[in-house]
Amino acid sequence: MPEPEQDPMPGLVAEATRGRPIDAGTIEMAAVETGPEVRRRTKKGLGFAAWLSIGWIALVVGLAILAPVLPLDDPKDSITEIARRGPLADAGSAPGHLLGGDFNGRDMLSRLIWGGRTTLTVATIAVIIGFVFGGLLGLLGGYFRGKVDVVVSLLLDVLLAIPAVILALALVTILRTQPGTKGGGLDPEVALILALGFVAIPVLGRITRASTLSWSEREFVLAARAQGAKHRRIIRREVLPNVLPAMMSIALLSIAVAIVAEGTLAILGASVETDTPTWGNMIAIGRINLQRAPHVVFEPALMIFFTVLALNMLGDVVRSKFDVREGGL
């Protein structure tokens, strides 16, 4: 799973005033040095874009959860009239089905909603796995440093040396097949989740480690140690509560990355079998009919795009809310 994008833009007010006493001189120099940026940073409340993102994610998640009780067509049911018909399709639009049908005649709308359910489940659980194991490794390495960190870093580096897509692909293949026989082995969905989760471990581990390292060097940790607190207690009470908020935005970004990864793997044939829709495998099977029925590909593609966009936006907003406290005066 490729590394989630981190925006390195520095907090300009914090940077301009860091380390200097706050008085008239500081305000003057901060104003001289940062100019227009000074106004922008402290806008109160969330912007319009942020609310839009929250809305979209709420919608998608809501539909995903409610899928079984919504009045949708069975995503596996074929309705011949709407086969290969839909917006932009060669065969014209489908009667009664707004988003058309795929080449088997299955209703796109219901497939999209059920697909979202599977995709989001896969992405979320994979990220949780990555966080639990990667996070644990990163926490240990970043906090204890020394030999522990050498081992942890080595472990992370080794796993990172193999491109994520390839590793995930190999893992899915391994997990899906049973020795000697064709078929059997793990359920493709489970295999996918485990593969993505495993690939997420080194990435999230590295980020957690970096965050833990910086927090462990703060004075309040040293103070706790000087008071004789046990490591476990310090980690639980001093380090973790500070690392977790920063990781929240990473979590959102990671889920976005996992959704894209599922799509990539689907194109390579490694996602769930195509009867169960996911946004990724809908694109994968729709590829053949791209020319005649592009909606089969582009409807799930747009779902991925908008959801990833919304998650990125939200992740950004969450981070800037916590960054203010981080670089605060």
Partner 1 sequence: MSESPLLEVTDVATHFDTDRGLVHAVDGVSFTLERGRTVGIVGESGSGKTVLSRSIMGLLPKKGVVRHGSIKFEGAEIGTAKPKEMRKYWGAHMGMVFQDPMTALNPVMKIGNQITESIHTHLDVSRTFARELAVSLLESVRVPDPERRMDEYPHQLSGGLRQRVCIAVALACGPQLLLADEPTTALDVTVQAQVLDLLEAQQRERFMALVLVTHDLGVVAGRADEVVVMYAGQVVEKASTATLFSDMKMPYTEALLHSIPKIDQPSHARLSAIPGRPPDLVNVPTGCRFAARCAYVQDRCRVEQPPLRPGTVFGHEFRCWFPVGTPEGRDALERNQQQASATTSADQI
Partner 2 sequence: MGTIARRLAQLVVVVILSTLFAFALLRLFPGDAADAVIPYGTAAQKAKFRAETGLDKPFFEQYATWLGNLVQGDLGKDYQSNTPVSDKVGAALPVSLQLMLYAQLIALVVAIPLGVFTAYRVGTKADRAVNTGAFALLALPSFVLALALAYWVGVKWKPDLPFLGQIPVTGYEPGWLEPVFGQSAGNIGKHFGTMLLPAISLAAGLIAVYMRLLRSDMIATLQENYITMARAKGLSDKRILWRHALRPSSLTLLTVAGLNFGTLIGGAVAVEVIFGIPGIGTLIYQAINARQIVELQSYIAIIAIGYVLINFSIDALYVVLDPRIRRARA
The residue ranges that bind partner 2 (CB under 8 A) are 2, 5, 7-10, 12, 15-16, 33-34, 36-37, 40, 154, 157-159, 161-166, 169-171, 173-174, 177-180, 185, 256, 260, 263-264, 267-269, 283, 287, 290-291, 294, 297-298, 301, 304-305, 308-309, 312-313
Residues 6+ apart with CB under 8 A from 253: 4, 5, 6, 311, 312, 315
Q: Considering the rule CB under 8 A, would residue 19 count as an interface residue with partner 1?
A: no
Give the shortest CB-157-to-partner 2 separation in angstroms. Answer: 5
> What is the residue type of 108?
M
Q: 273 is in the binding site of which of partner 1, partner 2, none (Cβ under 5 to 8 A by kind)?
A: none
Least Cα distance to 6 among 304, 246, 197 occurs for 246
Give the shortest CB-323-to-partner 1 separation in angstroms. Answer: 17
Give the shortest CB-234-to-partner 2 separation in angstroms. Answer: 25
Nearer to partner 2, 159 or 204 (CB): 159
Cα 67 from Cα 73, distance rounded (Å): 10
Residues 6+ apart with CB under 8 A from 28: none
CB 114 within 8 A of CB 315: no
CA distances from 214 to 123, 148, 152, 255 (A): 28, 16, 16, 24
Nearer to partner 2, 10 or 55 (CB): 10
Cα 233 from Cα 326, distance rounded (Å): 23
Query: 35: phi > 0 → left, psi -120 to 50 → alpha, else beta; which?
Result: left
Give the shortest CB-92-to-partner 2 separation in angstroms. Answer: 16
Nearer to partner 1, 38 or 267 (CB): 38
Cα 116 from Cα 299, distance rounded (Å): 12
Cα 293 from Cα 261, distance rounded (Å): 24
> CA dihedral in degrees (280, 286, 287, 291; nearest 10)?
-140
Near partner 1 in 21-50, by CB under 8 A = 23-36, 38-39, 42
Q: 15 is in the binding site of which of partner 1, partner 2, none (Cβ under 5 to 8 A by kind)?
A: partner 2
Q: 235 is in the binding site of which of partner 2, partner 1, none (Cβ under 5 to 8 A by kind)?
A: none
Q: 185 is in the binding site of which of partner 2, partner 1, none (Cβ under 5 to 8 A by kind)?
A: partner 2
Show the CA angle centred on residue 293, arms to residues 290 and 296, nearest 5°: 80
Q: 71 is in the binding site of which of partner 1, partner 2, none (Cβ under 5 to 8 A by kind)?
A: none
Q: 283 is in the binding site of which of partner 1, partner 2, none (Cβ under 5 to 8 A by kind)?
A: partner 2
Nearer to partner 2, 245 or 294 (CB): 294
Q: 228 is in the binding site of which of partner 1, partner 2, none (Cβ under 5 to 8 A by kind)?
A: none
Give the shortest CB-292-to-partner 2 separation in angstroms. Answer: 9
List contacts with partner 1 (CB under 8 A).
23-36, 38-39, 42
